[in-house]
Amino acid sequence: MGADLLYSFCEIEATEEEAIKNAEIFFASEPILDLVRGMEDECGISRWYGESEESLNPNEVLEFLKDCVKEVYASTGRRDCGVIMIDGTRPFYFTAGMSWGDVPSDCYDSFVVCEVYHLTRKIYQQ
Helix, strand, coil fractions of the chain, as percent rounded to 5: 40, 20, 40
Count of all residues that appear for the chain in the document = 126
**16 CB contacts (<8 Å, ≥6 apart)?**
69, 70, 73
The confidence band for 2, taking pLDDT boundaries of 50, 70 and 90, is confident
Q: What is the pTM of this model?
A: 0.94
Task: Tell me what the mean pLDDT of segment 91-105 comes to.
Answer: 94
Is the pLDDT score of 1 beyond 80?
no
pLDDT in tens, 64-76: 999 999 999 999 9
Rounded to whole angstroms, the Cα distance separating 77 from 83 reads: 9
| Of the candidates 59, 68, 63, 44, the residue with the CA atom closest to the CA atom of residue 120 | 68
